Amino acid sequence: MSIPKAFCTDVNRIIDIVEAREIFFSQTKHPRKRLDFRCPDNECRQAHNPEVLGINYDKNPQEDDFVQRSHFRLKKGTTHLPTCPWAEISQALDELEREIGNKPYLSHLKKSEIINVFNPLSNDECDTKFTMDIDAGFLERIKLISDRRERINELKGYLKNALNSTSRLHEVVHCFKFMTPEEQKAVSLSIPPYGEKSYRSWFRSSMYCRENEQPLIYYGAANIMEYRTGYSFKFWNKSVQSDQSNCEVFTFVKRERISKLRGAKAILDVLERGIGMQMRHRYPVDIFVFGKAVLTIEKHRLDIHIHSLHSLVVMLTERGA
Ligand SMILES: [Zn+2]
């Protein structure tokens, strides 16, 4: 019953589930108001205005622990026009889930939820492609096929490739977090153009951060430091070098870069709360960052250069939740 997008009456346009979360968390008034979603098809909305449910968009992946991926779902018992493509998309996704195997493959995740391809974006301005994303041009072409069964088959073929691929690091981190250690070794993740290896091999604690390696997903507890120009993240675990010396590990993000992002408000909110918890209780945040480590001239520290802000995940830790 899932669909990739919905029409949000609060902002009067079609959005995906990540935008729904950004809109929800950008509300400063508490309690935050849940959003109202309808079918994305114009004609269908005019005829029946069927409601669409938003699942887990009101939870913060940086903070709340939830297993089920956020998504939209057609509400049971609502009527869509026979020509509405979203009812067919929903059916295509249902059939795919059944074919892939709906029973948990990993300890917590459904097989259809496992990301096998992470496409890191080269800059912040690129729009992220997420799982289940459907290109508008493709939808237009699909409409030209007269047979319903054929349309659904086309959609399935398209979605099958899209389902396990994302350009948002937090979706990859979500999978990693819910895998057992064995599963992290067994499941492979491809990061073009750098290659394919197991989840375990891509994820590296800051303790084992080295210069001149290919980009990896570095992680660990870190402190946030706020400067006029931006935010610096200092990992708690120093990296041990081959000559046994220790190196501090940092990553830095310019304020200017964050403010240009669509979800800037939500990111700044997490950073602010992280800093607050740090000051009150000395709690760190957990960070995951995809990038390359570069040794600074003084050789006292390693800086992880991130590809884009979509390759940085900041989590308020359970210690601090
Ligand atoms: Zn509809």
pLDDT in tens, 217-226: 999 999 999 9
Q: List, in sequence order, the alpha helices (H) in the chain.
A: 17-25, 42-47, 85-100, 136-143, 148-163, 169-178, 181-186, 199-202, 255-260, 264-281
Backbone angles phi, psi at 89, to 5 degrees: -60, -45
pLDDT digits (tens, 9 = 90+) for 150-194: 999 999 988 887 778 888 898 899 889 888 898 899 899 999 999
Pick the more confident residue, 17 or 45. Answer: 45
- String of DSSP letters for 26-59: T--SSSPPPP-EE-S-HHHHHHT--EEEEESTTS
Q: What length does the chain have?
A: 321
Distance 113 CA to ligand 1 centre (A): 24
Structure tokens at 232: 């610096």
Poorest-pLDDT segment among 5-9, 130-134, 206-210: 130-134
Of 59, 309, 313, whose CA–CA distance to 175 is shortest?
313
In angstroms, the CA 75 to CA 86 distance is: 12
Ion ligand 1: residue ranges with CB closer than 5 A: 39, 41, 44, 80, 84, 86
Ligand 1 centroid – CA 74 distance (Å)? 9
Reported as type and span, the H/E element at residue 253 is strand 246-254
Instruction: Lowest mean pLDDT of 62-66, 122-126, 302-306, name the range.
Output: 62-66
The class (CATH top level) of 203-316 is mainly beta
Domain with CATH 2.40.50.140 in the chain: 203-316
What pLDDT score does 319 carry?
54
What is the distance in A from the centroid of ligand 1 to the CA of 102? 25
Closest by CA to 84, choosing from 45, 52, 36, 38, is 45
Burial class (CB in 10 A: 0-12, 13-18, 19+), 98: exposed
Name the pTM for this structure: 0.80
